[in-house]
Amino acid sequence: MFDKLAAVEMRYEELTASLGTATVQNDPAEYRKQAKMLSDIEPLVEKYREYKMVASEITQAEELVNAGDPEMRDLAEEELAELTRRQSRIVDELKILLIPKDPNDDKNVLVEIRAGTGGEEAALFAADLYRMYTRYSERQGWKLEVLNLSEAGQGGLKEVIVSITGRGAYSRLKYESGVHRVQRVPATEAAGRIHTSTATVAVLPEADEIDIQIQDKDLRIDTFCSSGPGGQSVNTTYSAVRVTHIPTGIVVSQQDEKSQIKNRAKALKVLRSRLYDLEMQKQQDAISKDRRSQVGSGDRSEKIRTYNFPQSRITDHRIGFTTHQLTGVLDGDVAELIDPLTTFYTAEKLRDITGGSTGL
């Protein structure tokens, strides 16, 4: 652990010196890159230096304890106890700071919600989840924009894709990817039997053009008449767009806008994020196949959560967490579920760093 900290401090000093050179200062892109790297590791370096200062003070206090002067020894022992407690707190803070930051945490996200098994009830549940994330975004002060929406009967949704813009959007929502299961009595069920339905949620970090380069030769773009709500332009103009990424076979359709140009831009935004997510999945597979069950793996086939209406209970199966605040959660209090997941994931990362030990 301390070898890592010493290496980070050395890198900090190198970056500080580099930022002062004319070569870097005359290259705005390189300056921004190095300044960000410096900013990212600065809190860790400051905490490490605080640790070294306290360690030095502990050494001095120990010398006074062993000096033989009874009056000084009592004071030194009291100071030593306080310094030791402080050092322990700093070590805990250093461990947290050493956890590698997810480079996507500050990104905006695309959230895709689709009705799964269960017919009309699944579509109604997809609409419930959409409302839940909409309310949560409002509470967070994030901006939500609907990119694509396909309605079903009775107020349900076959599919909805939204863009959520705001600080820390991906860091808060990244554990929501997976299969969400609902157990409840549908309004149309005369016998009062509980039905089980599902909806899938995919949370994709929004990819910039720098993240994913899309070549025109890799795209097939088809236009067609839009359908559904939309006014006079529906079925009269070829404003809807279908973009196919030939190398991967990924298809994105967009028809919400009356303008073909705007629909194309939105479709490419979704495509870029899906390709970025695909690349992330490949990297995760290459790093460690046996860790796919870990929280945050983004495995779309994993049943992550059950919403049980008769018992007003929500259970997250990944960490065995249960809450009976079902109404509040569906009304936007998703932090009730997100906070325990974040704590669990942080603890997992911490165990990786310390090798399962809580000591040094």
pLDDT tens-digit map of 57-75: 999 888 888 876 777 787 8
Question: Do 127 and 187 share a domain, yes or no?
Answer: yes
CATH of the domain at 244: 3.30.160.20
Overall number of domains in the chain = 3
Question: Do 119 and 197 share a domain, yes or no?
Answer: yes
Taking the mean position of all CA atoms in its chain, how far away is CA 27?
32
Q: Quick one: pLDDT at residue 243?
A: 85
Taking the mean position of all CA atoms in its chain, how far away is CA 182?
23
What is the C-alpha separation between 167 and 250, in angstroms, rounded? 29
Alpha-helical runs (H) found in 111-259 = 119-140, 169-173
Comparing CA positions, the residue from 54, 47, 46 lying closest to residue 81 is 54
The domain boundary, picked from 98, 132, 165, lies at: 98
Taking the mean position of all CA atoms in its chain, how far away is CA 121?
28
Residue 301: phi, psi to the nearest 5?
-85, -10
What is the C-alpha separation between 197 and 306, in angstroms, rounded? 10
Range 8-16 average pLDDT: 91
Question: Do 206 and 229 share a domain, yes or no?
Answer: no
Question: Do 117 and 147 share a domain, yes or no?
Answer: yes
Indicate the residue type of 234: V
Tokens at residue 84, please? 């030791």
Confidence of residue 302 (pLDDT cuts 50, 70, 90): low
DSSP code of residue 102: P
What is the C-alpha separation between 213 and 210, in angstroms, rounded? 7
| β-sheet bridge partners, residue 112 | 161, 202
Question: Do 128 and 8 share a domain, yes or no?
Answer: no
Comparing CA positions, the residue from 96, 92, 82, 95 lying closest to residue 54 is 82
The domain boundary, picked from 73, 98, 123, lies at: 98
Question: Do 272 and 321 share a domain, yes or no?
Answer: no
Please, what sign has the CA dihedral across residues 56, 59, 61, 67?
A: negative
Residue 315 lies in a domain: yes
Question: Do 238 and 321 share a domain, yes or no?
Answer: no
* Per-residue burial over 322-360, b = 16 or more CB atoms within 10 Å of its CB, e = otherwise: ebeebeebbebbbeebbebbbebbeeebbeebeeeeeee
Question: Do 83 and 179 share a domain, yes or no?
Answer: no
Question: Do 133 and 176 share a domain, yes or no?
Answer: yes
CATH of the domain at 167: 3.30.70.1660
Q: Quick one: pLDDT at residue 233?
A: 44
Does residue 188 carry a pLDDT above 50? Answer: yes
Residue 290 lies in a domain: no
Tokens at residue 317, please? 């199966």
Domain extent for 113: 109-210+296-352
pLDDT, tens only, 77-136: 888 899 999 998 998 888 877 777 777 888 889 999 999 988 899 999 999 999 999 999
Comparing CA positions, the residue from 223, 215, 194 lying closest to residue 307 is 194
Q: Quick one: pLDDT at residue 101?
A: 77
The domain boundary, picked from 98, 117, 149, lies at: 98
Query: How many other β-carbons are positioned within 10 Å of the β-carbon of residue 221?
Result: 13
Question: Do 185 and 51 share a domain, yes or no?
Answer: no
Residue 324 lies in a domain: yes
Residue 202 lies in a domain: yes
Please, are residues 233 and 239 in contact by the beta-carbon 8 Å criterion? yes
pLDDT, tens only, 258-289: 778 888 888 888 888 888 778 777 766 654 44
Residue 222 sits at the vertex; the CA angle it makes with 216 and 266, to the nearest 5 degrees, is 70
Does residue 306 carry a pLDDT above 80? Answer: yes
Residue 357 lies in a domain: no
Question: Do 46 and 28 share a domain, yes or no?
Answer: yes
Query: How many other β-carbons are positioned within 10 Å of the β-carbon of residue 248?
Result: 12
Question: Do 203 and 226 share a domain, yes or no?
Answer: no
**How far apart, in Å, do the first and last CA atoms of the chain sit?**
8
- Give the DSSP per-residue string, 12-74: HHHHHHHHTSHHHHT-HHHHHHHHHHHHHHHHHHHHHHHHHHHHHHHHHHHHHHTS--HHHHH
Give 94-99 contacts, CB < 8 A, sequence gap 24+. Answer: 94/1, 94/5, 94/44, 94/47, 94/48, 94/51, 95/1, 95/350, 95/353, 95/354, 96/346, 96/350, 97/43, 97/44, 97/47, 98/1, 98/4, 98/5, 98/44, 98/353, 99/346, 99/349, 99/350, 99/353
Residue 319 lies in a domain: yes
